[in-house]
Structure 1
Amino acid sequence: MSLHLKPGSVVFENVTKKYGAVTAINDVSFTIEPGNLVTLLGPSGCGKTTTLRMIAGLEHPTSGRILIGGKDVTNLPATDRDVSMVFQSYALFPHMTVGENVAYGLSVSGLSKKEAAERAKEGLSLVGLEGYETRLPSELSGGQQQRVAVARALVLEPEVLLLDEPLSNLDAKLRRKVREEIRDLQQKLGLTAVYVTHDQEEALAVSDRIIVMNRSVIAQEGTPRELYETPASSFIADFIGDANLVEGEILDQDDTNANVRIDTLQCKLPHRGFSNGPTKVAIRPDSILLEQNNPEINGIKGNVTHASYLGNQIHYSVDSSLGELFVVDYRIDNAIAAGSDISITFATKGMSLIAS
């Protein structure tokens, strides 16, 4: 016996969700292709969890349509949707064995006890927990409990797997390990997965595409690289990757690039359709280069106000004519002490024009 997973698409068409006078989701549209892992990312209260719950059927839209696998499920209850959900708390039954937890949904749906147990065993094998059937959840680590929750969702053979902040209860080191396991499993099985998190690094690490939400709407959608390298707004630039937002001026441009002045420096950046004149520039922390005691460097003058050693990198706060800058420097053997005067230049990558 083997699991028969049939990945489906997810489509939102002009979906709005209101709770009385409060609009949680406002006219949201997107498409998730079969076999993709798409992350809903954003700050608390942005609408990402409400969106996930509407896919699950735990909430219903005030207006608009939701389709799963091409089928209109807008008004269908959760029990009639071909989706499975992994909850933040894992929601394992403490009095049941691991095998019984994984088999629970199958038994409730009418499968024989023997067949449910066989499917549960196969699901545990998929997540690397062969032989754990007779253990209790309390006998497992947090990461193992997480995998049991994933196995319980997978054995239902859903068109779409939903994951609601699945790593929030794990420590930092374990989070990295388990997110890699989830991503590997999703790619191996060709699952359609919708993943909710507020952790930018987590979203960048696991996603085919990311939908960034803010104030009940989609702020930007794209691949991890697109969002990091070409943020569409100051919100995206600041939310993903701690960008420094500075004032600049577009002097002139050709078909592709703009000649941009930032204080005393000039650089070429993709113009992105912006007009000549004042503009904003997002600069990644590791794209700001600091040099001390080098008269050959003709950069923007600044002063290091704070320096923090973090093992493989040093974080600097720098006071400059551009404002306070956050800088990440991997040259740990050439640390600059707080209070030092420095010259600021920019790397050739990690800078982007953005809308105000």
Structure 2
Amino acid sequence: MNDTRRGAVEFRNVMKRFGSFTAIPDLNLSIAPGELVTLLGPSGCGKTTTLRMLAGLESPTSGQVLIGGQDVTRLPANRRDVSMVFQSYALFPHMSVRQNVAYGLESGGLKPAEAREQAERGLDLVGLAGLGDRLPSELSGGQQQRVAVARALVLEPQVLLLDEPLSNLDARLRRRVRTEIRELQQRLGFTAVYVTHDQEEALAVSDRIVVMREGRIAQAGTPRDLYQNPASEFIADFMGEASVVDASVISVDGDSAVVRIGDLDVTLPAIGGARPGPARLAVRSNAINIRPGRGGLNGRVLTSAYLGDHIEYELDSAAGRLFAVDHENTAPLPPDTEVSLNLLPRGLALIP
């Protein structure tokens, strides 16, 4: 095998049917060695089926799956040189942490002393040195997930697969563990395929995000690309909870376009071959500045909810219904308050 291809992943015209239902119609996707790619999408979009076909837990109906340049389409899971981290951790409760990490090594024929030594190195790698004698039940949820990552990494797989790895953790712990996983991946340079339905999680950990819808790739790109340049209303709404409203492109000059929303004109990047005429505009919730009174884009408060460090609003405006998050004011404006809305260009995106 060419070492420069080690860790590369490729799906070629992959189709997957379950009976008469086609879960994946025609998937073509390449992942470079050392890249962390997240498969993102709502429930039933095909992301987990795609991961399971890569792991060897499902077989494609047609097409090819390649790892490191080798066709593994018909190889069983135990011959694919991949390791998987599950959302449930899947640790043996009666084994020590060290024994859990060493289990796969010993099952593969490594001598117990060598497996123990490699397990210790794996625990040190994920910041759990000195905890090898504990049982999984004596660790926090975040520590258990790191044990699961260590167990996968000591096998030195070409590709690490992570299936909703943080879904069992609370919000604060999720943020910390996702940072740890990303730092570990960047430090060691392994290829990783990460599945989640959480947009914030995908933005935080990924080199590239593949958004799936009904078994197809809706859009793929860097987190910044997908957030700032959505290719469709579905992507705009899914990547950051945007309100999509009618607008008009008044003029285009090079890379800039003057866009009118209600009575407000803003200058935006002219993506997707923008030209004068009717348009659709994604307005992010954090792109709206709210002030009582009239002026700018006129609106009216429909509902407000105080959530501690921010206030959420549903607004009726000259452009249509908008969802806004206000981090500046300390008290919510009551329903039916007339408001002036200013839109920040960095949170707006024309939809091709």
Cα distance in structure 2, aligned partners of 1:134 and 1:334: 51
Alignment match of 2:318 (pick from 318, 321, 345): 321
What TM-score comes out, normalization by structure 2 length? 0.95
Partners of 1:105 and 1:40 in 2: how far apart?
A: 26
Structure 2, unaligned stretches of length 5 or more?
A: none
SS, match of residue 349 in structure 1:
helix
Indicate if the aligned counterparts of 2:105 and 2:115 stay in contact, CA closer than 8 A: yes
Matched, 1:337 2:345: no
CA-CA distance at 1:107 after TM superposition: 0.8
Q: Residue 334 of structure 1: CA displacement?
A: 6.9
Question: Mean alpha-carbon deviation: is it higher for 59-68 or for 157-166?
Answer: 59-68
Is the CA contact (8 Å cut-off) linking 2:301 and 2:315 kept in structure 1?
yes
In 1, are the aligned partners of 2:46 and 2:212 still within 8 Å (CA)? yes
Residue 3 of structure 1 is matched in structure 2 by none
Structure 1 residue 27, shift from structure 2 partner: 0.9
Partner of 1:248: 247
What are the Cα deviations for residues 85-119 of structure 1, in whole angstroms up to 9, with x where unaligned?
00111111111111111111111111111111111
Paired residue type of 1:71 = Q
Distance 1:349-1:67 versus aligned 2 partners, 3 A rule = same
Instruction: State the match for 2:64 in structure 1.
Output: 65
Aligned mates of 1:332, 1:289 — CA distance in 2: 10
CA contact (8 A) 2:160 2:191 kept: yes
Residue in 2 that maps onto 1:140: 139
One-letter identity of the residue aligned with 1:90: Y
Structure 1: where are the runs of 5+ without partners?
A: 1-5
Q: Tell me the residue number matched to 1:273.
A: 273
Kindly report the root-mean-square deviation, in angstroms, between the aligned alpha carbons of the 2 structures: 1.5
Q: CA deviation at 1:265?
A: 1.7
1:10 equivalent in alignment to 2:4: no
Q: Tell me how far 1:37 sits from its aligned partner.
A: 1.0
Letter in 2 for 1:202: E
- Is the counterpart of residue 46 in structure 1 residue 45 in structure 2? yes
**Cα distance in 2, alignment partners of residues 75 and 274 from structure 1:** 46
Counterpart Cα distance in 2 of 1:132 and 1:289: 49
What residue in structure 2 maps to residue 309 of structure 1?
306
Name the counterpart of 2:54: 55
Say which is worse superposed, 301-310 or 39-48, in terms of deviation. 301-310
Q: Which amino acid counterpart does residue 24 of structure 2 have in structure 1? A: I
Call closer, same or farther: CA 1:179–1:251 in 2, change over 3 Å: same
Show the counterpart of 2:292.
Answer: 292
Mapped partners of 1:300, 1:131: distance in 2: 60
Q: Deviations over 1:266-308 (max 9, x none)?
A: 2222232134322110011111222213x6xx32221112222
Which residue is 1:85 aligned to?
84
Could you tell me whether the CA contact under 8 Å between 1:316 and 1:327 is conserved in 2?
yes
| Counterpart Cα distance in 2 of 1:341 and 1:186 | 49
Deviation track 1:148-175 (CA, whole Å, cap 9, x = no partner) reads 1001000100010000000111111111
Contact residue 314 and residue 329 of structure 1 kept, 8 A: yes
AA matched with 1:261? R
Q: Name the aligned partner's letter for residue 284 of structure 1.
A: R
Q: How many residues align?
A: 347
CA deviation digits over 1:308-327, x for unaligned, max 9?
22232221111123222101
Residue 173 in structure 1 maps to residue 172 in structure 2: yes
User: Do 1:10 and 1:68's aligned partners in 2 also have CA atoms closer than 8 Å?
Assistant: yes
Q: How much has 1:177 moved relative to structure 2?
A: 0.8
Residue 332 of structure 1: SS of its match in structure 2? coil
Structure 1 residue 25: deviation in Å? Answer: 1.1
Q: CA deviation at 1:250?
A: 2.0
Distance 1:218 1:46 in 2: 9
Which letter maps to 1:9?
A
Give me the whole-angstrom Cα distance separating, in 2, the residues matched to 1:311 and 1:222.
34
Alpha-carbon distance in structure 1 between the residues aligned to 2:292 and 2:9: 53
After TM superposition, the structure 1 = structure 2 runs for residues 147-296 of structure 1, keeping only pairs within 5 Å, are: 147-271=146-270, 272-293=272-293
Instruction: Measure the CA separation in 2 of the matches of 1:92 and 1:334.
Output: 47
Mapping 1:107-146, distance limit 5 Å: 107-146=106-145
Q: What percent identity do the matched residue pairs reach?
A: 61
Distance 1:270 1:171 in 2: 38
SS of structure 1 residue aligned to 2:346: coil
Alpha-carbon offset, residue 333 of structure 1: 4.1
**Counterparts of 1:233 and 1:149 in 2: how far apart (Å)?**
37
The amino acid across from 1:279 in the alignment is A
Return 238-247 or 6-15, whichever deviates more: 6-15
Q: CA shift at 1:126, angstroms?
A: 0.6
Q: Within 2, Cα distance between the matches of 1:275 and 1:19?
A: 44
Supply the distance in 2 between the matched residues of 1:122 and 1:275 (Cα, whole angstroms). 58
Q: Does 172-181 or 319-328 show the bigger shift? A: 319-328
Taking the aligned partners of 2:103 and 2:199, their CA distance within structure 1 comes to 34
Q: What CA distance in whole angstroms lies between the structure 1 residues aligned with 2:74 and 2:203? A: 33
Distance 2:290 2:69 in 1: 53
SS at match of 1:195: strand
CA contact (8 A) 1:312 1:332 kept: no
Post-superposition, which runs of at least 4 consecutive aligned residues in structure 1 deviate over 6 A?
none
How does the TM-score come out when normalised to structure 1? 0.94
8 Å CA contact 1:7–1:158 kept in 2: the answer is: no
